């Protein structure tokens, strides 16, 4: 989609109705879309078991929807554990993937029942000595990717040559390393780095077996599956085809998992805000929306995302415009140097692809309320009071 | 079918069919559930770990109470740390010679809930006039306690969560101070095959305070992975030379009915599998 899309006012009906019913700012979470994305990725990666990275959109309806489809969950904090616990998620369906943890984080996860953890350095390995009979570890390996907006191998992950040393050290401490993980980068333009990382991990897995007859059984290929904001991206089948080809070269016993977040959640949520004021400043008309950079549009700051927007107007002529957020800070601007028909105060502005890293990183700056999330098409759960026990 | 999966270990575990959930509660980051299973009756699990079941609890509770009580031979005062389900209390109350029992449980809700949902564990023992229930942290209780006991029984959860202070060197030292002359401390110490270093760590921490320290064993089906060990600590080395005849006499005199415990099992339970002996020997020579 384009950055600014102009639709006739008759198309605004459903958004206006939701805005009136629930108030704005609003985020509409469509669980059917979430399910559609999960099914598309499952189809594109037939050998891979998916662990939803709930950090991208930690919402109960998202957990319920994906859980009902058989998804597993990637967790990183005790807060995320509490969210899953409240949804009755089985702990065996979770892995804890934060490479750096406090002792309490480890204990909280174990007490929940999550026993798979990720490490990438010796200090982190040593934190598990007391829990060595209870846990299985993944070693996160770094494969830097200069071609992505967010290089997830800078802050975390050991060098390839360090992986073997960590695994040997773990063995000497009586700790079980059961596999490797990597993150090829976020919003990858293609799967070149995934393929490279899979090949290199295959070599490490082989080298570990040659050196010590130790069988690594899990490879976690992370995330990075792209979604379209305002720039077209490769379709998911085409993106995953080289990954599947690379996985075919790995030993058949290897269990392959992935941690998609953005790919599942981004298209599932739509922001609805309204113009709360406007002013003519210089050549441009400034429109002040009730949601902005400190709210649902925080991803423009933290996630390097630019969301496609839709306004509704039947007027042909256009003007210079700026769309700003509601706070008192001057950096709170969503879009500037844009051209569009004039809007009235109270008009609805819609943001698309706003499920991932939007509300997740929204603030309460100025004590403005965060956008309310309204979930639609939530799957019905039978016996929801004892879902913990569901297979 | 509804199931409950234990998550004690990453690569191995047990699963129960759940016929009916009696109670499920989450308090202060603890998750507690009591459910019905066809083979084990009522099963209680805490934070993904099986705590006790109606069908096999007798093995654990009989061994953790009758072994120290009948070895001592003249127990008047007993201190129970933990044991909120009441099973240890039930077995201890069977000894008519015992005059006083203090039980220290950190969470009064556990006691009430077990009375309601696992009534066969305590079997009315909480109403025994010899019993004094104290709601307190067990570690703090022994630290501040000025009374003396002939036997201290630590019936704790595993060393992750609130029970972990009951596995420290300080706790063992404080227990020593609460023991009368000839007193015995016993503690639940996990399944040695799965967690061998719990045995060596406990041995290392207990030995500085007691003239005699060892372990004894029993296999409890739902504490999976082999025999469970109970730590034994006392200043009286002669206890372990007690003959089966003496134990038999005391057992008969006490007139107690058991389903797992008997004098022959009592004596035999101190024989440790060689892998445990090896681990203890290796740790000493380190």
What is the nearest CA distance from B191 to chain A, expressed in angstroms?
11
Contact A112 B195 (CB under 8 A): no
Q: What is the mean pLDDT of residues A203-222?
A: 95
In this prediction, residue B33 carries a pLDDT of 92
User: Average pLDDT over chain B, rounded to whole?
Assistant: 94
What is the nearest CA distance from A117 to chain B, expressed in angstroms?
10
From B56, B85, B150, B155, the catalytic residue: B155
Contact A178 B26 (CB under 8 A): no
Strands B49-53 and B41-46: antiparallel
**If you write DSSP's letter for every residue of A222-270 in order, what string do you get?**
-------SSS----HHHHHHHHHHHHHTS-TTPEEEE--SHHHHGGGEE
- C-beta neighbour count of B133 within 10 angstroms: 17
In this prediction, residue B29 carries a pLDDT of 61
Contact A178 B10 (CB under 8 A): yes
Task: Report pTM.
Answer: 0.88
In this prediction, residue B15 carries a pLDDT of 96
Residue that the structure tokens 């569901």 belong to: A390
Q: Which residues of A198-220 are buried (b: 16+ CB within 10 A; e: fewer)?
A: bebbbebbeebeeeeebebebbb
C-alpha to C-alpha distance for B200 and B284, rounded to whole angstroms = 9
What residues in B contact A390, CB-CB < 8 Å?
Answer: 2
C-alpha to C-alpha distance for A278 and B152, rounded to whole angstroms = 76
Residues in chain B predicted with pLDDT less than 50, given as ranges, are none
Nearest to A226 by CA among A269, A270, A260: A260
Cross-chain CB nearest to A111 (options B2, B21, B161): B161
Cα separations (Å) of B31 from A76, A111, B24, B58?
Answer: 20, 8, 8, 24
Residue pair B89/B80 in contact by the 8 Å Cβ criterion:
yes
Instruction: Report which secondary-structure segment, H or E, holds B72.
Output: helix B57-72
Contact A112 B48 (CB under 8 A): yes
Close Cβ partners of B149 (under 8 Å, ≥ 6 residues apart): B77, B78, B79, B102, B178, B179, B180, B183
Digit-coded pLDDT (tens) for A333-368: 999 999 999 999 999 999 999 999 999 999 999 999
Strands A372-376 and A26-30: parallel
Specify burial of residue A33 (Cβ count, 10 A radius: 0-12, 13-18, 19+).
buried
Cross-chain CB nearest to A115 (options B3, B9, B195): B9
Residue pair B68/B151 in contact by the 8 Å Cβ criterion:
yes
In this prediction, residue B1 carries a pLDDT of 76
C-alpha to C-alpha distance for A205 and A251, rounded to whole angstroms = 9
User: Average pLDDT over chain A, rounded to whole?
Assistant: 94
Contact B7 A116 (CB under 8 A): no
Close Cβ partners of A269 (under 8 Å, ≥ 6 residues apart): A27, A28, A29, A30, A57, A354, A355, A358, A359, A373
C-alpha to C-alpha distance for A192 and A125, rounded to whole angstroms = 30
Residue A372, classed as helix, strand or coil, is strand
Structure tokens at A68: 């009902």
**Chain A, nearest residue to B47 by Cα:** A111
Cα-only R_g, chain B: 18
Q: Is the dihedral of CA A286, A287, A289, A292 positive or negative?
A: negative
Residue pair A264/A41 in contact by the 8 Å Cβ criterion:
yes
- CA neighbours within 13 Å on the CB side: how many for B239? 26
C-alpha to C-alpha distance for A267 and A269, rounded to whole angstroms = 6
Close Cβ partners of B286 (under 8 Å, ≥ 6 residues apart): none
Strands B30-37 and B41-46: antiparallel
Cα separations (Å) of A311 from A293, A298, A308, A349, B75?
Answer: 18, 20, 10, 5, 84
Residue pair A224/A185 in contact by the 8 Å Cβ criterion:
yes
Residue pair B113/B126 in contact by the 8 Å Cβ criterion:
no
Nearest to B186 by CA among B54, B16, B63, B26: B63
Helices (H), chain A: 13-22, 31-44, 60-68, 78-86, 103-112, 122-126, 160-172, 192-212, 236-248, 262-265, 299-302
**Chain A, nearest residue to B6 by Cα:** A113
Across chain A, how many H-helices and E-strands are there? 11, 17
Contact B160 A111 (CB under 8 A): yes
What residues in A contact B201, CB-CB < 8 Å?
Answer: none
Contact B10 A108 (CB under 8 A): no
Residue pair A26/A349 in contact by the 8 Å Cβ criterion:
no
Digit-coded pLDDT (tens) for A239-265: 999 999 999 999 999 999 999 999 999
Cross-chain CB nearest to A133 (options B21, B29, B195): B195
In this prediction, residue A383 carries a pLDDT of 39
In this prediction, residue B160 carries a pLDDT of 66
Strands A72-75 and A48-53: parallel
Contact A111 B48 (CB under 8 A): yes
What residues in A contact B10, CB-CB < 8 Å?
Answer: 115-116, 134-136, 176, 178
Structure tokens at B219: 């296999």
In this prediction, residue B162 carries a pLDDT of 55
**Chain B, nearest residue to A112 by Cα:** B47
Indicate if the pLDDT at residue A385 is higher than 50.
Answer: no
Strand-pair partners of A386: none
In this prediction, residue B213 carries a pLDDT of 97
Which residues of chain B are at the A interface, by a Cβ-Cβ cutoff of 8 Å?
Answer: 1-5, 7-11, 18, 21, 24, 26, 29-31, 33, 47-48, 160-161, 194-195, 197
In this prediction, residue B151 carries a pLDDT of 98
Residue that the structure tokens 């980068």 belong to: A185
Structure tokens at B136: 């307190």
Cross-chain CB nearest to A386 (options B21, B48, B160): B21
Cross-chain CB nearest to A115 (options B1, B2, B7): B7
Digit-coded pLDDT (tens) for B20-33: 999 998 765 678 89
> Of all residues in chain B, what percent are helix, strand and coil, respectively (each to 5)?
40, 30, 30
In this prediction, residue B164 carries a pLDDT of 80
| Catalytic residue positions of A, numbered | 328
Mutation target to probe the B interface, by most B beta carbons within 10 A, among A91, A137, A389 is A389
Cross-chain CB nearest to A116 (options B3, B10, B21): B10
Residue pair B187/B166 in contact by the 8 Å Cβ criterion:
yes
Strands B149-155 and B131-135: unpaired
In this prediction, residue B110 carries a pLDDT of 84
In this prediction, residue A381 carries a pLDDT of 61
What residues in A contact B3, CB-CB < 8 Å?
Answer: 389, 391
What is the nearest CA distance from B203 to chain A, expressed in angstroms?
16
Q: What is the mean pLDDT of residues A16-44?
A: 97
What is the nearest CA distance from A274 to chain B, expressed in angstroms?
40
Digit-coded pLDDT (tens) for A97-147: 999 999 999 999 999 999 999 999 999 999 999 899 999 999 999 998 877
Residue that the structure tokens 């953005």 belong to: A262
Contact A107 B161 (CB under 8 A): yes
**If you write DSSP's letter for every residue of B2-53 in order, what string do you get?**
-EEE--S-SS---EEE-SEEEEEEEETTEEEEEEEETTTEEEEEETTEEEEE
């Amino acid at each position: 989609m384009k950055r600014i899309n102009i639709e006739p006012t008759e198309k605004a009906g459903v958004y206006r109705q939701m805005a009136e019913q629930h108030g704005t700012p609003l985020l509409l979470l469509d669980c059917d879309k979430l399910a559609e994305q999960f099914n598309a990725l499952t189809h594109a990666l037939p050998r891979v078991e998916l662990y939803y990275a709930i950090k991208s959109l930690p919402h109960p309806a998202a957990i319920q929807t994906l859980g009902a489809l058989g998804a597993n969950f990637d967790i990183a904090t005790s807060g995320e554990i509490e969210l899953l616990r409240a949804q009755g998620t089985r702990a065996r369906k979770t892995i804890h993937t934060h490479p750096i943890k406090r002792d309490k984080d480890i204990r909280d996860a174990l007490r929940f029942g999550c026993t798979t953890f990720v490490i990438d350095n010796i200090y982190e390995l040593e934190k598990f000595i007391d829990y060595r009979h209870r846990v299985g570890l993944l070693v996160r390996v770094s494969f830097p990717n200069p071609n992505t907006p967010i290089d997830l191998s800078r802050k975390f992950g050991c060098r390839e040559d360090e992986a073997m040393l960590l695994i040997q050290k773990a063995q000497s401490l009586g700790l079980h390393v059961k596999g490797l993980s990597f993150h090829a980068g976020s919003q990858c333009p293609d799967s070149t780095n995934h393929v490279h990382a899979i090949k290199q991990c295959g070599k490490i897995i082989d080298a570990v077996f040659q050196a010590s007859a130790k069988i690594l059984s899990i490879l976690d290929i992370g995330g990075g599956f792209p979604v379209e904001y305002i720039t077209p991206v490769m379709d998911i089948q085409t993106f995953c085809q080289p990954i599947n080809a690379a996985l075919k070269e790995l030993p058949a016993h290897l269990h392959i998992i992935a941690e998609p977040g953005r790919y599942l959640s981004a298209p599932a949520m739509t922001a609805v805000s309204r113009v709360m004021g406007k002013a003519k400043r210089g050549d441009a008309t400034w429109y002040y929306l009730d949601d902005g950079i400190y709210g649902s549009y925080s991803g423009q700051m933290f996630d390097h995302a630019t969301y496609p927007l839709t306004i509704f107007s039947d007027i042909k002529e256009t003007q210079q415009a700026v769309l700003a957020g509601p706070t008192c800070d001057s950096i709170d601007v969503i879009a500037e140097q844009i051209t569009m028909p004039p809007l009235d105060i109270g008009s609805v502005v819609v943001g698309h692809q706003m499920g991932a890293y939007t509300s997740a990183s929204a603030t309460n700056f100025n004590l403005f309320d965060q956008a309310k999330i309204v979930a639609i098409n939530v799957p019905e759960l039978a016996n929801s009071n004892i879902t913990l026990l569901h297979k | 079918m509804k199931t409950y999966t234990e998550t004690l270990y990453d690569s191995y575990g047990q699963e129960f069919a759940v016929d009916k959930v009696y109670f499920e509660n989450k308090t202060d980051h603890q998750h507690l559930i009591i459910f019905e299973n066809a083979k084990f009756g009522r099963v209680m699990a805490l934070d993904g770990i099986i705590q006790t079941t109606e069908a096999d609890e007798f093995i654990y509770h009989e061994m953790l109470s009758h072994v120290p009580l009948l070895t001592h031979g003249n127990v008047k005062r007993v201190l129970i740390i933990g044991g909120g389900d009441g099973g240890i209390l039930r077995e201890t109350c069977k000894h008519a010679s015992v005059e006083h029992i203090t039980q220290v449980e950190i969470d009064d809700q556990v006691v009430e809930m077990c009375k309601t949902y696992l009534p066969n564990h305590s079997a009315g023992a909480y109403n025994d006039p010899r019993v004094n229930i104290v709601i307190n942290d067990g570690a703090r209780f022994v630290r501040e306690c000025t009374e003396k006991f002939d036997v201290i029984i630590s019936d704790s959860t595993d060393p992750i969560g609130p029970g972990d202070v009951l596995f420290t060197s300080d706790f063992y030292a404080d227990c020593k101070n609460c023991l009368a002359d000839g007193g015995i401390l016993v503690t639940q110490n996990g399944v040695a095959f799965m967690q061998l270093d719990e045995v060596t760590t406990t041995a290392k921490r207990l030995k500085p305070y007691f003239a005699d320290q060892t372990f004894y064993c029993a296999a409890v089906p739902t504490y999976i992975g082999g025999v469970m060990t109970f730590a034994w600590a006392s200043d009286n080395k002669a206890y372990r030379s007690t003959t089966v005849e003496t134990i038999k006499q005391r057992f008969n005199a006490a007139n107690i009915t058991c389903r797992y415990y008997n004098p022959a099992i009592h004596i035999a339970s101190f024989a440790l599998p060689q892998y445990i002996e090896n681990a203890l020997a290796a740790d000493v020579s380190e």
